[in-house]
Each structure stands twice: as structure tokens, then as C-alpha cells.
Amino acid sequence: AQQHSVTVNGKTYETDSWFNTPSKILESTSRRLHLQKDHPVYITRQIIESKFTQPTFKSYNDFDPVVSTAENFDSLGFPADHPGRSKSDTYYINSTTLLRTHTSAHEAQLFRASSSPGYLISGDVYRRDEIDRSHYPIFHQLEGARVWDRTKVPNGDIVKAIYDDLAKLPTHNVQVEDPNPPHHVERNPLQAEHHSAAEAEAVSAHLKRSLELMVVEIFSRAKQAAARQDPNYVDEPLKVRWVEAYFPFTSPSWELEVYYQGDWLEVLGSGVSKQEILINAGVPDQIGWAFGIGLDRIAMLLFQIPDIRLFWSTDERFLGQFRGVSDDLDRLKRFLPFSKYPACPKDVSFWLRPTSAAGGDDRRGNVHDFHENDLMEIVREVAGDCVEDVKLVDEFVHPKTGRKSLCYRVNYRSLERTLTNEQAVTMHEGVRRMLVERLGVELR
Ligand code: PHE
């Protein structure tokens, strides 16, 4: 029977042909790991919040993840054909309602209503994605913003007001690379109708110092934990660099990368907020900056957690390791893995269905409607957290028929128990069956 309505966190929504959210995902909306005391995601949020304090910044942590397409995309200036809007990337409830893909969905509302010049918002966000140890369809973001009001600063001198506030921030001694010019004419223009170059530069300078201080706090804590626990730990000085980026709702925009344990890691996105958002939010006299950071990847680094699925574990061997840390962040410890259970890899090969709708068969056009995320979704639906990763291991086009065949390796492994071969076989049969039923592929 067709489902016509669905209840998420106690609210009921009509569904339509856009509905593509599995029940496991809908049920997980109640987990809210960022609000679960002593959970690594919660602790990571706390560390970040400690750098943006009241009364300048107000925190909002319990906004509903079900939002409108207007909030998630339109209000932020996403073009109509942006790939993020597609059903293969996003979980829809109906054509105008979805599970937020980022906490930026709340920008307009908060710019309008927050009673403080800065705000932080954390929450669970949802994206259809690949399966491996650092991707999960639900993760957590923390977003922050800071604005100044032209009509409220002394003498109307907003540039001076921003630099005065910057001067009140602490300094740090971490090396910063920032090779970009302040704007890029096409990719990251100055919003010249709304901001003078001096204003945009003041906002950028305040943004950069604020976010550098946040990142220094996070990574200093990671290093302290490592040094406390590992007698052979060798300290390497932290380095950060600003890299030009692009977001529909900021200009200019940057990502901040951190050099940690031999790699440059991308840790956040940020920029000078597009003035249209503030104008549409009813606060045209304000200008400011915004950033967004993913909490789960940061928590994995802080606690040296090897697999993102562990966050969803209710096993005491996992949760017990962090008890008491929320009340005393100096007790932060690295995670000690419990024994790794054996892996059970299984392959599945299939021919893709040629798409007649696109007007061609394989022989001529090689047109398919196969999207890898649909396969990932099936695997998650059947095997849940018993899959470690899914990889494309072979791709092949038949020389005579032109038909395309793919082979994926599904690596079954539980974090909490030994899977028998029989259990893996049963799950794999379920995956094979659903691939045929839902995607119309032909198994080989
Ligand atoms: N929402 C962006 C993302 O999910 C991050 C971001 C937030 C960028 C705010 C700029 C300003 O990638």
C-alpha cells in the first residue's frame, strides 16, 4: 500500500512522489547525538561553543530537522538546478519539505529573530551519500554568524566598530597562510551594491581571527589528549590556511584547512553573508559573516574514533569511555578501540538497465538512470550499521551489445559482534533482491 503521510518527531506530513526517506532515517531523527551528554558529538559542540560566549552569541540546539525547500535552498540563493536539490542527494518528505542538508537552512530565521548580534545553531543534517568509515547519511553541523548593524554602531562607523571588536579578541601564535586577494572578480566578488571594500575587509578580518581561535582551541585539545596518553607522542606545530571556496550564500567565501598529523584537513566553510539574505530577513542594515563546521569528523579526530558508525552505537564499551568529559573537558581522552570483529566481503555484479526514456539504448548512447546513491541506500536499508563500506571494484562494457556491467564489493562487518557468514549471506541476498526490484538491474 502507498504511504500518504508520515510522522517525524511527532509532526505529521503529507507525502507525495518526492518522498524518498527510509524509515530507519526517519526514526533516527529522535537520536539527536549533539544533545546527548558525554557523547563525542556533544563534547565537540561544547568545545566550539566555549569560544563563542554569551551575551554576544546565543546558542540554538533544538531546531527541528524537517524544513522547507525554501529554507534549505531558496532563501540561500541556491539556483534551481543545483545538484544538492536532487532526489539522489537529499531526503525528501514531499516536494516542498525535506530533512535539512545543512544548518544554514536556519540562517534567514535566525538573522531575523535572534536577539543577539551573534548566534550558533547545531543540529543533525541529512545527505544521501556513499558508504565508508567517514560517511554516514546523518551527521551534525554547527553553524555560527556574527552581524553588526549600521544604524546602531557609534557614529555610524561600522568599519571602526568591527575593528574595535576584533581588537578585543585574543591573539594566537599559530602560523596562518592566507594567500588569497580579498575578492575574486568572478568567483567571489565584493558585494559592491551593498558593501564598501573596507567594510567587507573588516568583516573578513573578524571572521578569520574568530575561526582561527576556534580551530586552535579544538586542535590544542586534540594534541593535549594525545600527549597525555601516548608517551611517544611528538608535537608538531599547528598550521592553518585559508583557501578560496564557493557557497551560494556568502561572498567572498573561504574554507579553513588545518595541518594535523601530516595532512591538510578541510574543517569549515565560511564567508561574508550575502546581503539578500539579511534584506529578505528584514534586517537590511546588518552586515556580517557566517561559518559552518561538521562536528562528526572533528569528533573523530579529537577522540581518534576510527569509524563514524560508532557514534550511533549504544554499546557501553563505546559510550562508557566518554562519561564525565562534558563536565570537565580537560578529561578528554582518546578512544580505545574494542576488538575488531571479522569482515565478510561479498560482491554483487549486475547489468545496468538501459533507459528508454532518454531515447537511446546502451548500444548507441550508453544512457542509464543508475545513481550510485540509490545502491548505497538499499545496502543501508537491508544491512544498516552492519556495513563498513561499499566500493565499485569493476566496471565493464560488453564489446558487442554495449551494455554496461558494474561490480560492487559490500564489506559486512559489525562493530559490536561477530557476523556469521550465514548472516552476511542473508543480508546480501536481500540487497541483490532489492537491486532488481527497485533499480531494475539484471544480476549476473
Ligand atoms: N552550509 C555550508 C555547508 O554545509 C557551510 C557554510 C555555512 C558555509 C555558512 C558558509 C557559511 O557546506
ipTM reported for the complex, 2 dp: 0.98
Using the structure block, give the residue that is written with the C-alpha cell 561600522: 158
Q: Tell me what pLDDT residue 368 has.
A: 73
Q: Tell me what pLDDT residue 365 has.
A: 46
Q: Tell me what pLDDT residue 361 has.
A: 43
| DSSP SS3 for 392 | strand
Q: Could you give the CA distance from residue 142 to residue 122 in angstroms, rounded to a whole number?
A: 4
Residue 428 CA, ligand 1 centroid: distance in Å: 37
| Per-residue pLDDT tens digits of the chain, which is 444 residues long | 467 999 999 999 999 999 999 999 999 999 999 999 999 999 999 999 999 999 999 999 999 999 999 999 999 999 999 999 999 999 999 999 999 999 999 999 999 998 899 999 999 999 999 999 999 999 999 999 999 999 999 999 999 999 999 999 999 999 999 998 888 888 899 999 999 999 999 999 999 999 999 999 999 999 999 999 888 988 888 999 999 999 999 999 999 999 998 899 999 999 999 999 999 999 999 999 999 999 999 999 999 999 999 999 999 999 999 999 999 999 999 999 988 899 999 999 999 987 655 444 444 445 678 999 999 999 999 999 999 999 999 999 999 999 999 999 999 999 999 999 999 999 999 999 999 999 999 999
Pairing of strands 286-294, 250-260: unpaired
Residue 250 CA, ligand 1 centroid: distance in Å: 9
Q: Tell me what pLDDT residue 181 has.
A: 84
- Is residue 243 within 8 A of residue 279, CB to CB? The reply is no
Q: Tell me what pLDDT residue 114 has.
A: 86
Grid coordinates belonging to 175 = 602560523
Closest Cα to atom 6, ligand 1: which residue? 292
Q: Tell me what pLDDT residue 37 has.
A: 98
- Spacing of C-alpha 310 from chain mean position: 17
Residue 95 CA, ligand 1 centroid: distance in Å: 23
Residue 101 CA, ligand 1 centroid: distance in Å: 10
Q: What is the pTM of this model?
A: 0.91
Q: Could you give the CA distance from residue 332 to residue 337 in angstroms, rounded to a whole number?
A: 16
For residue 359, is it left (φ>0), alpha (ψ between -120 and 50) or beta? left
Which residues 6+ apart lie within 8 Å of 92 measured at CB?
A: 18, 19, 20, 21, 98, 99
Pocket test of ligand 1: the residue of 143, 243, 253 to mutate, having most ligand atoms within 8 Å of its CB, is: 143
Does ligand 1 come within 6 angstroms of the Cβ of 107? no
Instruction: Kindly report whether the peptide bond that precedes residue 252 is cis, defined as omega within 30 degrees of 0.
Output: yes
pLDDT by residue (tens digit) across 159-189?
999 999 999 999 999 999 999 888 888 889 9
Residue type (1 letter), 67? V
Strand partners for 263: 260
pLDDT by residue (tens digit) across 279-331?
999 999 999 999 999 999 999 999 999 999 999 999 999 999 999 999 999 99
Residue 20 CA, ligand 1 centroid: distance in Å: 24
Q: Could you give the CA distance from residue 311 to residue 11 in angstroms, rounded to a whole number?
A: 26
Q: Tell me what pLDDT residue 48 has.
A: 98
Does ligand 1 come within 6 angstroms of the Cβ of 294? no
